[in-house]
Structure 1
């Protein structure tokens, strides 16, 4: 078998071809650009060695190798991804500290030769894309939350009584803030103008507001009309509206990805497209985990352990190691799963009856959910409530 080991960089890559049966280098290290011309150069140099059994591999170095991977998969070639920790361990076997393009390529070859790599496929690549998508969605939701918190601070200065009259972030709530900015302005505005601002047509999240009640409330308000604060409100409303529109686009794209993957995870009651795709993409290739316990540890929902001498810590919090996105998705959906699955609901109630706190019982259910997900993914079967009883 011929192995093509590639050392990835931002603007160019270095490659070497080795006959794995003899360990002989058949193509000396050569450099090619991270562009169309460079990819063609790569193919010209390695094409004679791709006729039989072959493997092309490189380190998982963020996004720099993504386009090359797509190019190789498009040519139906066998591609393997190496963990940088594996190449670091291989490199540290040498007593002398040296680093050259030739050595880096050969180190990657040695790791590939030891079969310490993950084979890539279109489906796995789709999961990586899904991870990027769901993480971006989570970051967007975090931005929306932060902007809303900032807006509430401004509202507390301009018109603190407004939240008691109008549901926050509805169309009329936003319209009042956008048009008037503060209670002082509302109090001085003609009732007809207020009615016009409140007369919002079309579909969406509406809330009924009496113009008379709004004006009376504004006249009694302790809010202040501060120009800087009003400008901040206008800016924050614009950002929130912009991000809410982006949220719709992300949600639609997430549903599209979820339908394409058609994973058994979506058969679990209470798991929707967003949390389901987030869990699925964060776990990635389930074959890389030899047991559900390892997925639990990867999610960081395993109990912490502390032991020193005769002391044994009990009732410690979860470890919170591994993927925080996976952990967040699990806790976001676990109560919904408990409400939609009698088995999970009974398990939650059992833990509560044993004196566990709400969060502790949630943690137990999250670990049970991972065990169920592991079985569904490894056996490619749909969720069956009766099989859990």
Structure 2
């Protein structure tokens, strides 16, 4: 059954706009994006006497997280949705206008018609792990940029020394952050257990295990392994119409690029060195599948396995993973 009372919120850095859909009419208001603004939003919502309203907003990182936390802690039902879903919904409704005022109304309409899954905040340790892991990735990108800058044929000696010193500093910071990530995991019984069972799979390294725990939502938010894999964007996307139009299939890529990148590197190792996957790989080879298709199939298989072991809190079982 659809919610009678829904609220759409469009969030920007300094402000956010809210739209209440009530008895066929829309009530809108703007608030500052801070703790005081959130309190004013809650007071404004209470003025309407709404019955168990469903509040929706787009995922905009730190800008939306504080508002979502505030509303969740106040007892409201909150959904944090992918901006691409709202964009597609807007196009389907042929809505041409795009302002903050119209955006919050579109989000409210989306909430009313689709009743998206409810959101709940990550535990503090998961948030900290995400922050540390994200910082490591940024530093590694900068380290790679500096390494490339040293490959010039002609480079000033002082400049080269400066770059080398900066690279050494970044390497030291990466080591400190990697240790901090391990400390966060070790100090959490749940994270430690999840990390250990992921690492038990031959070929799954520290970076991949950390990325799965830091960037993926808790498995309880997904109904099945297919949804879990779809979140990463490794599910197949087909293009076909009638009998005459048939495009080449590819992975959707509508998901976390960061998780796909970490998973890809582990998949290469698993594919070549994990005996548990050999029969699966050989079967795909015998079917004439290209190398890239085999890699993606293994990425998807790994995500299904991750979902299973994290959901059941049990170690990897080859017989269960590859049963016919």
TM-score normalised according to structure 1 size? 0.62
| Structure 2: distance between partners of 1:104 and 1:335 | 42
Cα distance 1:355–1:119, how it changes in 2: closer, same or farther (>3 A)?
closer
| Structure 2: distance between partners of 1:358 and 1:98 | 45
Q: CA RMSD in A?
A: 4.3
TM-aligned CA deviation for residue 68 of structure 1: 1.7
| Structure 1: distance between partners of 2:110 and 2:53 | 15
Structure 2 counterpart of 1:375, from 292, 296, 308: 308
TM-aligned CA deviation for residue 325 of structure 1: 2.0
Alignment of 1:20-35 (within 5 A): 22-23=23-24, 28-35=27-34
Alignment of 1:22-101 (within 5 A): 22-23=23-24, 28-47=27-46, 53-92=52-91, 97-98=96-97
Look up the match of 1:233.
Answer: 160
Look up the match of 2:121.
Answer: 122
TM-aligned CA deviation for residue 328 of structure 1: 1.8
Structure 2 counterpart of 1:13, from 12, 16, 26: 16
Q: Unpaired runs of 5+ in structure 1? A: 158-225
Contact 2:271–2:295 (Cα < 8 Å) also in 1: no
| Structure 2: distance between partners of 1:251 and 1:46 | 43
Cα distance 1:317–1:45, how it changes in 2: closer, same or farther (>3 A)?
closer
Structure 2 counterpart of 1:325, from 255, 258, 268: 258
Q: Does residue 200 of structure 2 align to residue 267 of structure 1? A: no
| Structure 2: distance between partners of 1:95 and 1:300 | 27
User: What's the CA shift string for 1:262-287, capped at 9, x where partnerless?
Assistant: 26464132334421232345443556
TM-aligned CA deviation for residue 240 of structure 1: 0.9
| Structure 2: distance between partners of 1:249 and 1:50 | 51
User: What's the CA shift string for 1:72-128, capped at 9, x where partnerless?
Assistant: 234343321233344445545667755666544333222222243242212289767
Cα distance 1:298–1:71, how it changes in 2: closer, same or farther (>3 A)?
closer
| Structure 1: distance between partners of 2:182 and 2:168 | 22
User: What's the CA shift string for 1:173-223, capped at 9, x where partnerless?
Assistant: xxxxxxxxxxxxxxxxxxxxxxxxxxxxxxxxxxxxxxxxxxxxxxxxxxx
Secondary structure at 2:13 match in 1 = coil
| Structure 1: distance between partners of 2:92 and 2:234 | 35
Contact 1:128–1:284 (Cα < 8 Å) also in 2: no
Alignment of 1:1-389 (within 5 A): 2-19=5-22, 22-23=23-24, 28-47=27-46, 53-92=52-91, 97-98=96-97, 103-123=102-122, 130=129, 133-151=132-150, 153=151, 228-259=155-186, 260=188, 262=191, 264=194, 266-268=196-198, 269=200, 270=202, 271-284=204-217, 286=219, 292-293=225-226, 296=229, 299=232, 301=234, 319=251, 321-322=253-254, 323-337=256-270, 341-348=274-281, 362-388=295-321
TM-aligned CA deviation for residue 354 of structure 1: 7.7
Secondary structure at 1:331 match in 2 = helix
User: What's the CA shift string for 1:337-381, capped at 9, x where partnerless?
Assistant: 468854125544666688878766544433321221233345554
| Structure 1: distance between partners of 2:314 and 2:49 | 36
TM-aligned CA deviation for residue 234 of structure 1: 0.5
User: What's the CA shift string for 1:277-314, capped at 9, x where partnerless?
Assistant: 3234544355676654565565455678788989999x
Secondary structure at 2:62 match in 1 = coil
Cα distance 1:339–1:81, how it changes in 2: closer, same or farther (>3 A)?
same
Count of matched residue pairs = 311
| Structure 2: distance between partners of 1:14 and 1:303 | 37
Cα distance 1:3–1:295, how it changes in 2: closer, same or farther (>3 A)?
closer
TM-aligned CA deviation for residue 16 of structure 1: 3.6
| Structure 1: distance between partners of 2:146 and 2:305 | 37
Cα distance 1:114–1:258, how it changes in 2: closer, same or farther (>3 A)?
farther
Secondary structure at 1:6 match in 2 = strand
Cα distance 1:30–1:381, how it changes in 2: closer, same or farther (>3 A)?
same
Look up the match of 1:209.
Answer: none
